[in-house]
Amino acid sequence: MASAPKRGLRDVAIVAGYELGEALRTRRVLIFALLFVGGAVAGTLAFVELLESLEAGLARALAVADPSKPGAMTAELMRSPEFLRMLRRLVRDEELARELAGLPPLALFYGWLGLTFMPVLVMLTSAETISAELATGSIRFSLLRTDRLSVSAGKLLGQSLLMLAGVYAGALAVWTTGYFSLSSFEAGRSALWLALLSIRVAVYAFAHVGLALGLSHLTRSVPLSRALALGALAVLGLLFGLLRNLDWIREHAAGPADAVLQLVPRSHLLDLWRPSLWDRLPSLVMLFALGTVYFAIGYLHRARRDA
């Protein structure tokens, strides 16, 4: 017979595998994932169109020939000192601005898209993972066969893998769209950066998967768990805005405000763009820890209660 930890890990993997299959069977998650991929493609096409019009305008202003395919002039523009100066002012960080300016435009665009929309998508798809099973009582069939932690952790792993698949499907869609619509498309470099940025998007989204599943443990009501998830997203956004920008707080309680901000995933967003892994690592670790802690709080609440 397998030892308890080995058995636990085996059960987590079994639950996660079934969770993935169930997500495909219910089609709901699939629809959201397709919406994300479709949105990424539509966003990329809009981005390319924007580039096209900007470049055409620029070409007219400089009295040069229109580029036949968009992107060529943008790549040059992104390497210009003026663009770097603008970015530096935006992010208030020389090294970071240089890093961003050096990225393939589509990778930069997808990084922004993923970091902006993946949390919302995750909150919409993962919020009912536990609450729906509590509502119907179907979780009991699993709990007769393995412990609560294995079931909950398996669902966290399953939802995280789903999210990861969604992030990479989006990246693939963006790469394919760019390949066919940008003349200056650097296929290899773009693929590499899309893959690398997707990891950062996934870690950022994991914090939200943990939050959604933590909240999902709190109630047996599916509508309430959805409302809690979207409400939490709104509250965290508001908290971030107030603690980061409100003058009174920055003047009188900057220390405590910064401490609280550590608990808000968005506070770690900018650091995810940093070029050096060592500079990014604290944020990556913190986001992973936040997801785990949010999940654990919800799990511990439910573990002491009836299934």
Partner 1 sequence: MSAALALDGVRKAYGARDALDGLSFEAPRGAITGLIGPNGAGKTTCFGVAAGLLKADAGRIDVLGRGAFDPAARAGALGMLPQDAELPPHARVDGLLAYFARLQGFTRAEARREAARALELMSLSDRARSRVRELSHGMRRRVAVAQALLGEPELLLLDEPTSGLDPHLVVEVREVLRAQRERGASLIVSSHVLSDLEAICDHVVFIEAGRAIKSGPLAAVTGRGQRVRFTLAAPIELALLQARLPDLVLRAQAAWVELEAPAAGDLAALNRRVLQALLDLNAGVLEMRLGQSLEQAYLDERARGRG
Least distance between partner 1 and beta carbon 305 (Å): 7
Q: Directed axis angle between helix 4-26 and helix 28-62, to 10°?
A: 70
- State both tokens at 77: 């523009």
Least distance between partner 1 and beta carbon 160 (Å): 19
CB 253 within 8 Å of CB 281: no
**Which one of the spans 19-27, 89-97, 253-261, 278-286 is the region binding partner 1 (CB under 8 A)?**
19-27
Least distance between partner 1 and beta carbon 145 (Å): 4
CB 253 within 8 Å of CB 168: no
Q: Quick count: other Cβ atoms within 10 Å of Cβ 73?
A: 21
Q: Is 39 in the site for partner 1 (CB under 8 A)?
A: no
Q: Quick count: other Cβ atoms within 10 Å of Cβ 218?
A: 18
Least distance between partner 1 and beta carbon 18 (Å): 5
Least distance between partner 1 and beta carbon 143 (Å): 6
Q: Specify the residue for token string 């709190």.
A: 218
Q: Is 306 in the site for partner 1 (CB under 8 A)?
A: yes
Report the residue from 8, 39, 102, 275 that binds partner 1 according to the rule CB under 8 A.
8
15/236 with CB nearer partner 1: 15
Q: Which of residues 114-173 bind partner 1 (CB under 8 A)?
A: 133, 136-138, 140-147, 150
Q: How far apart are CA 290 and CA 264, in angstroms?
A: 8
* Three-state secondary structure call for residue 26: helix
Where is 143: in which H helix or E strand?
A: helix 139-143
Q: Is 63 in the site for partner 1 (CB under 8 A)?
A: no
- State both tokens at 284: 């990556």
Q: Give the binding site for partner 1 (CB under 8 A).
A: 1-2, 4, 7-8, 11, 14-15, 18, 21-22, 25-26, 133, 136-138, 140-147, 150, 304-307
